[in-house]
Chains A and B, each alone.
Chain A
């Protein structure tokens, strides 16, 4: 294949991956919807048969009653599972297609495929999906699917607006530090995203719990405490990686390219702000009065500064990191 062929292949594959992931997202939402229906039916059944309260598994031999029956619940449960499996398969497929797209982009440009904002978005989402799949193997995080997939589809869609054809790098980016610096930033970002997703669900769930028990799908999520724990764990993993990206490899590269390790360029300022915000989160987790809700909100603020650095700073602030164009 010629370079042009690779470039075209990559563009088509990004479009295909976006479509597959959009379907995966729909399936994951359907999984939530049926899951929450199952919960509602279960409650209704339990209310109709006080004797069976608390006996979720006993409902299989429950006598038929008028209104919602345990058969309805099982049907909803089955559908929910089915859509869950569909969502997961499509996620794997979408990830593989996107991976192919990213590799092809690299072959077309004859360099690492993260030299401008379009590539940063596509490769970044590829890293996010890869990280999500790995984490699912390690700690069963499939309940995060709607958030992760929704984010992936939105970012892939928006990446079209900053599309540039494949080509060589501007000289300032032509350095092996680009490889190291950007990949570590993306890995950290993927972790931050998962942490933010878990924090959002944690906040929703604690609020629901406080209002007399989580209903619908929220009640099928892991307990608030364990979502909080997951958010902490991924953030605690990502924070050192981010430190490496923003405060070690970034400055080394900046020294090579621009003659100063740190120049308070807008991008650097915001990377620092993100770093401080996450350091604040880690402390908040360790400080008694700040545990839980306040810490979770802080982690969302921190993630917002991370996103702002990628989108806002690239587009609105002039600076040396001018790969937005």
Chain B
């Protein structure tokens, strides 16, 4: 529609390119931007721009994959990074296309709404003089008078918008026509669809600007309260204020993970479920919850999802003086499908030296020989084993720089060695403990717990795009199925007292069945009004519709 219009500045200037005034240039640019061609181009561009994000790992999707990419492509990655390739969907260029598309859409919808509202008020147009020029027409003769024919035509045409116009001679109606138009809902549906696209774009923008997303690991028996410091990872939209985090807190009582025990899919995860209690806001009653995959926990203003699980052995460490300086459930992060997991323990309070441990946890350890390193055979905890290397010295926690709890900074640490001079390897099952050399302390694997990895997020306005697309689809169906048609029935009294009835139709969207329906209409009308028996003639029969055209 919009692209049919020519910029008026070019009109009557013979195609020469005179200098445009600033205002004219602006207007020209606006016309260009809001044409359907531009909008489609922008849309295709948006799709193309989305492709790199499916090839290069994205920070918002998988931070670790991005790091791995940097390691694999040390030269290429920084260049890509500057281009925003690791956060395509929030990059400047992606946003630019997005915003231009939105403006373009709005700019092309507004004039169409105006055109449509005028069309709604308009009456069906006059019949053309010569019906046989139209794609389909028919005619028959009847004894009935003009008024009867027109009334019958009005009834037969059904729900269309209709006007009946007559010509009289000496008070008698000698000629008249019924003008009918139907299918206004097509353009309505079309507008609804295009408007809903804008709604979706707005809703998606609102979600990402006003929302936040973070994840945290919570071990059984421990709690989480929704404050910034408790997240392992946290991202939020540009307009999100971290003071606005909803003030809920929860405690995890139990994490249940089941895995296939045998058969070809042995080891495949079957179900995860986390139960505990949640307090929606300080001062409110705790209520029990259960979170499963596909069944998030909804609290006021946020949702919690179970996105992972793993093991958190409870570890107790005594220092050289025999004091318990550490006792906690330490999450070990699973690295593969059998839940071979890695983790570290940092004991900052140990004296005389700080202690650090790094190692792995195997839920079902199997060993293929005395000196072989055991491996995990199944993700369920049938034979849990903790394997650790131990260090002493300075954990490097005082530097002020924040440190990941999953990485041991070995710069200031010395590894304990065994009697054989090789690094000391501790292997512990639940309940077992081991002494460190030189009376530096001991470590005990008290019991095994599990942890849940939750994702917490709020997406204000998440329903907007959903409603937008849903209503948009309905509009789309209207616009694809409804086919506007104009129909005219003209009746003229001949001097011999016979009324000649002519019928014709014109489709706004060409369809192949128009001839057939004009013939049908003529037949039904002829039945109502009676006909002279002269076989009625359909112009469309002169050129029989090919059956396969439909």
Task: Give the residue name and chain of the B residue nearest to A4 (CB).
Answer: B263
Contact of A165 among B36, B55, B60, B265 (CB under 8 A): B265
Q: Give 1 or 0 for each of B447-470: 1 = CB within 8 Å of chain A CB.
A: 000000001010100100110011
B54 contacts A by Cβ under 8 Å = yes
CA distance A174 to B272 in the complex (A): 11
Size of the chain A interface, CB-CB below 8 angstroms: 55
Contacts of B44 in A (CB 8 A): 276-277, 280
B17 contacts A by Cβ under 8 Å = no
Contacts of B88 in A (CB 8 A): 264
Contact between B305 and A259, CB atoms less than 8 A apart: yes
CA distance A270 to B295 in the complex (A): 26
Residues of B193-248 at the interface with A, using a CB-CB cut-off of 8 Å, are: 204, 207, 213
Contact between A168 and B47, CB atoms less than 8 A apart: no
Contact between B466 and A251, CB atoms less than 8 A apart: yes
B253 contacts A by Cβ under 8 Å = no
Q: Given A257-B293, A264-B53, A223–B549 Cβ distance below 8 Å?
A: yes
Size of the chain B interface, CB-CB below 8 angstroms: 58
Contact between A240 and B260, CB atoms less than 8 A apart: no
B399 contacts A by Cβ under 8 Å = no
Contact between B47 and A277, CB atoms less than 8 A apart: yes
Contact between A226 and B550, CB atoms less than 8 A apart: yes
Nearest CB of chain B from residue A224's CB, rounded to whole Å: 11
Nearest CB of chain A from residue B188's CB, rounded to whole Å: 16
Nearest CB of chain B from residue A223's CB, rounded to whole Å: 6
Contact between B305 and A258, CB atoms less than 8 A apart: yes
Contact between A259 and B50, CB atoms less than 8 A apart: no
Contact between B89 and A259, CB atoms less than 8 A apart: no
* A-side interface mostly: helix
Contact between A280 and B292, CB atoms less than 8 A apart: no
Contact between B549 and A229, CB atoms less than 8 A apart: yes
A315 contacts B by Cβ under 8 Å = no
Contact between A223 and B546, CB atoms less than 8 A apart: yes
Contact between A170 and B268, CB atoms less than 8 A apart: yes
CA distance A266 to B37 in the complex (A): 27
Of the candidate stretches A34-42, A44-52, A242-250, the one touching chain B is A242-250
CA distance A262 to B213 in the complex (A): 13
A92 contacts B by Cβ under 8 Å = no
A318 contacts B by Cβ under 8 Å = yes
CA distance A287 to B296 in the complex (A): 46
Contact between A273 and B47, CB atoms less than 8 A apart: yes
Of the candidate stretches B156-164, B167-175, B472-480, B496-504, the one touching chain A is B472-480
CA distance A255 to B457 in the complex (A): 10
Q: Given A226-B549, A256-B296, A266-B54, A240–B477 Cβ distance below 8 Å?
A: yes
A6 contacts B by Cβ under 8 Å = no
A272 contacts B by Cβ under 8 Å = yes
* Chain B residues near A (Cβ < 8 Å): 3, 36-37, 40, 43-44, 46-47, 50-51, 53-55, 58, 60-62, 65, 88-89, 204, 207, 213, 260, 263-265, 268-272, 292-296, 303, 305, 307, 455, 457, 459, 462, 465-466, 469-470, 472-473, 476-477, 480, 512, 546, 548-550
Would you mind naming 12 contact pairs between A and B with Cβ atoms under 8 Å apart? A165-B265, A167-B264, A168-B270, A171-B271, A171-B272, A229-B512, A239-B480, A260-B457, A263-B61, A273-B47, A276-B47, A318-B62
**Which 7 A-B pairs have CB atoms at the shortest separation, nearest pair first?**
A266-B54, A259-B305, A276-B47, A269-B54, A171-B293, A222-B548, A175-B294
